Structure 1
Amino acid sequence: MAFNRADNGFLVLDNVRIPRKRMLMKYAKVSADGTYTPPIHSKLNYGLMVLVRARMTNMQAQNLSSATTIALRYSSVKRQGRIEKNQREVQELDYQTQQYRLFPQIARAYTFLFTGDEIINLYHQTMDGVDKGDIDLLPDLHALTSGLKSVVTFTNGAGIEQCRMACDGHGYSDASGLPKIYGYAIAGCTYEGENVMLLQQAARYLMKSVVRADRGVSLSYSVKFIGKKGEKRSRLGMQAESDEQEIETLLSSLEHIARRLAVEASQEWEKRMKMGESRERAWIELTVEMNRAARVYTRLFVAQSFHRRVMAAPSSLRPVLTHLLSLYLHYECVDMAHHLLHDCHLTGDQINYLKKRLYEDLRKVSYQHDHS
C-alpha cells in the first residue's frame, strides 16, 4: 500500500559459516573459545531500530506538514456559501468547522517536528553515554521511541485523513497528492513494530516507574511526573492567568491524567497477582488499560517537548509558537475531557471554559493566516 517500489522478502541461510571477526560485535561479543558476552543492557540489541523510530517522528511531521499545506491552500482558494447577503461567497477557511479540522494539524506538525528533534538528540546523548558505560537514559529512550512511534503515526494518519476530507472530492483525487501522502504515512503504524504491541513496551517501563516511585527512588526525566503530588482539583479558569500560566496549568492537568492512569493500571496488576494470577496472565488481562496509560504518557511527553522548544525559541518567534502551543494543549485537553472529568479534576464548567479558549485560539491562528 503506497510503497510500490518496495519489494519485501527474506533470506534463508543453511550451513553458512560467518567468521567471528565479522559478527558486528560492538555490544554483544563472542570470544575465540566460543564464550558469549551479552551487552550491558538487553535494549542495546535494538539500537538501529530505536534510531529508526526516533527519526520516524520527524518524517511523520513532514508528511502532516505537506498534507496540511495542501488543505490550507485549497481552503483559502475555494469559496462556498454566503454569510452576509449581497457579499461574495466566503473562503472555506472562514468556517469554524474547517478551522477546527485544519488548524490543530498545524500545531501537531510543529509539535511532532520539535519532539522528533528532541528524541534524536536523546538518542545520540544515550549512545554517547553507552560508549562510556552509562546506560541511565536507555530505558527512557526505548520507552519513548516505542510510544512515539505508535502515537505519532496513528495521530498523523487521522490528521492527514482530516486534511483529505477537508478538500471535498478533490482530496480523493490522486492529483491532490493527498492519497499518496496518506498511504505513505499510515504505513508507519505497522512497519518497525506494530503500534498496539509497541505501546506495551512503554507500559512496562511505566509500571516499573510506578514501583520505583512508591519506594522513593529518583525517576528519570520522562517519568518524573509519576513521583509528583500535583493538585487533585485544577483551578483552570477560576482565576486570572496569563497565557504562559494557563499553559503550565494545562500541562499539570495532562500530568494528572498520565499519573492516575499509570498508578491505577499498576495497582490493578498487583491486585490480580495477589489474587493468584500469574504475572503474565494478569498483564494480558490488562493490556487495554496498560496501553491507555502508555498512550497518555506519550502524549504528555509530546506536549512537554513542544513547551520546552517554545521556551527556548527566540523572542521574535515565541509569540506565534505560544499561540500554536495554546491551541495544541486546549485541543488535547478537550479531546481527553473524559479523563479530566473521571475523578473530578475538572468540572463541566471548566470543560466549557476549555472549549471557549480553544475557539479563541482558532480565531487567533485565523487572524495570523489572514495577515501573513
Structure 2
Amino acid sequence: MKTRIRVCQDGTYVKPASNKLAYGTMVFVRVGICYDSLRHLMRAVTIATRYAAVRHQSKIDSRESEPQILEYQTQQYKVLPQIATVFALMFSANTVRNTYYTVQDNLKDGNLNLLPELHALSCGLKALCTTDATSGIEILRLSCGGHGYLASSNLPRIFVWATAAQTYEGENTVLWLQVARYLMKCYREVSRGGQLQPSVVYLAEDNHTIIPTRDLTNEGLVQRLKRSVFRMVQSSAAELESRQIAGERYERAWNASSIGLVKCAQAHIRYFVCKQFVKSVGIYEGSEPVKQLLEQLCRLYLLYTITKNQGILLRAGSLSNGELNKLEGELGELLAELRLDAVNIVDAFDCHDAVLNSTLGSWDGDVYNRLYRAAMESPLNKSDVTDGYQKYMKAHLKSNL
C-alpha cells in the first residue's frame, strides 16, 4: 500500500493524505499472520487427526475390540472443530485480504473511506486467528495424550510458533481495544445518520425485532449472533456514557469499561467470521460433494462457536435453553458424520511429511516404528548407561552406600 510519504531533496517532509495510510504495511503483515496462524493449526490438526485414526485404546463396548480413539465423541469434539476452524479462518482472511486490495485501488482516486474498516478488521482478525490457533493447537496436543508432549511429535514446536504471534505486530488485547474503539465510533455515527461500512452496518439495523423461534438454519444462527453483538455494543456504549455523565473523563471511563469492550470486540469479530464462512460456502461453485462437505464444516463451526459462547446469546435473549439443547444434540450427531471424512479432509490439506516433521502425523500412519526410531536416535539412548552416571552419579551413590 503506497502511503505517499516522502522527503524532498531539500529535506522537506511531505505528509500522507491521511495519517492512517502509515498503517498500510502493518495491515498487510497482520493479514499474513492470519494465514500463518491457520497454517500452524492446519499442521497440528493433520497430525492429531492421523494419530487419532491410528491409536487404539480402551473399549466403548466391552463385547468389542479396542476402537480408534477417533471413535470417541470426546476425541471428535477436540479434533473436528479445529478442522472446521481452519476453513473459517481461511475464508475470513481472504475477505480481509480482498478488502486490503480494494483499499489500494481506492487510494488511486484519493478515496480513504474503507481505511478505518480495514484497520479494525485486520486488528480483530489477527487477534482472533492467533488466539484460536494457539488454543486449538493446545487442544490437539492434549488430544494426543503423552505422545503429544514429545518433541518428535512436533506439536510443542508448532504451539510455540503459533503462540508467539499473539504478541508480535500488536499485542492482542491492544488490538481488541482498537476494534472496540471502532465499534463505539460507528455506534455514535448511527445516531448522527452517518454511513457505516459493511462489517458494522448491522449497528444501524432494527435489532429489536423478535427472531423467529424455529429458525435455527445457518443464516438464522448468524442473525442471532448479530443481534447478540448489537446488544453488547449497545450495552458498552451505554456504560461509557453513564460514566461520563457521572463526571468521569472519557479516558478514565474507557479504562473502567475495557473488559466489557474487549468482549464486545471479540463477539463482533466472531460474528464476522461466522458470517463470512456462511457466505463463502453459499457462493462456492465447485463440485457438489465438496460443497456438501463445506456446508457440514460450516454448520459444525457455527454450532461449536455458539455453544462455546452461549452466554452472550442467552443474555441477549437470542437463544433459549431449549434451542441450545437442540443445537448441542445436533453437534454430537454432526461430529459422528464428519468423523468418517476426517482423515481425507486433513490429507487434502496436502501437508508434506517434511513440513509436518512428526512421528505421529506422517502420511503412512506408521506411528510406533517412527516413535521407536526417534527414541533410539536420542543421545540418551546411545548407551545402556549414560556417561553422566559414570562421571558424576556413580561415585556419589557408592559413597552414600
TM-score with structure 1 setting the length: 0.87
Which structure has the larger Rg over C-alpha atoms?
2
- Higher normalized contact order (CA 8 Å, seq sep 6+, divided by chain length): 2
Deviations 1:193-250 (A, max 9, x none): 11101111111110011011222322100101111213654435x36x7xxxx00000
Q: Is 1:221–2:198 an aligned residue pair?
A: yes
Residue 360 of structure 1 corresponds to: 333
Aligned runs of 1:59-138 on 2, under 5 Å? Answer: 59-138=36-115
1:31 deviation in Å?
4.9
Query: Which of 286, 296, 308 is equivalent to 1:323?
Result: 296
Aligned runs of 1:53-64 on 2, under 5 Å? Answer: 53-64=30-41
Q: For the Cα contact (< 8 Å) 1:57–1:115, is it kept in 2?
A: no
Q: Is 1:276–2:247 an aligned residue pair?
A: yes
Secondary structure at the residue paired with 1:218?
A: coil
Query: Which of 342, 351, 366 is equivalent to 2:324?
Result: 351
Deviations 1:149-197 (A, max 9, x none): 1111111110000000000010000101101110000001001011101
Q: For the Cα contact (< 8 Å) 2:224–2:313, is it kept in 1?
A: yes
Query: Which of 306, 317, 321 is equivalent to 1:333?
Result: 306
Cα separation, 1, equivalents of 2:34 and 2:344: 30
Deviations 1:286-343 (A, max 9, x none): 1111111111111111111211210121252221100000000011111111111113
Mark the CA change 1:62 to 1:342 in structure 2 (over 3 Å): closer, same or farther.
Answer: same
How big is the alpha-carbon RMSD for the aligned residues of Structure 1 and Structure 2? 2.0
Q: Which amino acid is the alignment partner of residue 311 of structure 1?
A: G
Deviations 1:119-139 (A, max 9, x none): 111111111211320111111
Secondary structure at the residue paired with 1:98?
A: helix
Query: Which of 306, 310, 315 is equivalent to 1:342?
Result: 315
Mark the CA change 1:233 to 1:349 in structure 2 (over 3 Å): closer, same or farther.
Answer: farther
Q: Is 1:201–2:174 an aligned residue pair?
A: no
Q: For the Cα contact (< 8 Å) 2:106–2:112, is it kept in 1?
A: yes
Residue 236 of structure 2 corresponds to: 265
Residue 262 of structure 2 corresponds to: 291
Q: For the Cα contact (< 8 Å) 1:234–1:346, is it kept in 2?
A: no
Mark the CA change 1:47 to 1:371 in structure 2 (over 3 Å): closer, same or farther.
Answer: closer
Cα separation, 2, equivalents of 1:235 and 1:263: 22
Q: For the Cα contact (< 8 Å) 2:124–2:175, is it kept in 1?
A: yes
Residue 163 of structure 2 corresponds to: 186
Residue 312 of structure 1 corresponds to: 283
1:30 deviation in Å?
4.4
Q: Where does structure 1 lack aligned partners over 5 or more consecutive residues?
A: 1-23
Aligned runs of 1:3-22 on 2, under 5 Å? Answer: none
Cα separation, 1, equivalents of 2:27 and 2:177: 15
Q: For the Cα contact (< 8 Å) 1:82–1:89, is it kept in 2?
A: yes
Q: For the Cα contact (< 8 Å) 2:91–2:277, is it kept in 1?
A: yes
1:265 deviation in Å?
0.7
Residue 7 of structure 1 corresponds to: none
Q: For the Cα contact (< 8 Å) 2:3–2:21, is it kept in 1?
A: no
Cα separation, 1, equivalents of 2:162 and 2:115: 27
Of the structure 1 ranges 165-174 and 279-288, higher mean CA displacement relative to structure 2 is found in 279-288
Cα separation, 1, equivalents of 2:132 and 2:98: 23
Residue 137 of structure 2 corresponds to: 160
Q: For the Cα contact (< 8 Å) 2:49–2:343, is it kept in 1?
A: no
Q: Where does structure 2 lack aligned partners over 5 or more consecutive residues?
A: 346-401
Secondary structure at the residue paired with 2:195?
A: coil
Count of aligned positions: 343
Mark the CA change 1:26 to 1:329 in structure 2 (over 3 Å): closer, same or farther.
Answer: closer
Cα separation, 2, equivalents of 1:213 and 1:96: 46
Identity of aligned residues (%): 35
Mark the CA change 1:324 to 1:285 in structure 2 (over 3 Å): closer, same or farther.
Answer: same
1:94 deviation in Å?
0.4
Q: Is 1:50–2:21 an aligned residue pair?
A: no
TM-score with structure 2 setting the length: 0.81
1:371 deviation in Å?
8.2
1:84 deviation in Å?
2.7
Cα separation, 1, equivalents of 2:209 and 2:321: 16
1:345 deviation in Å?
2.2
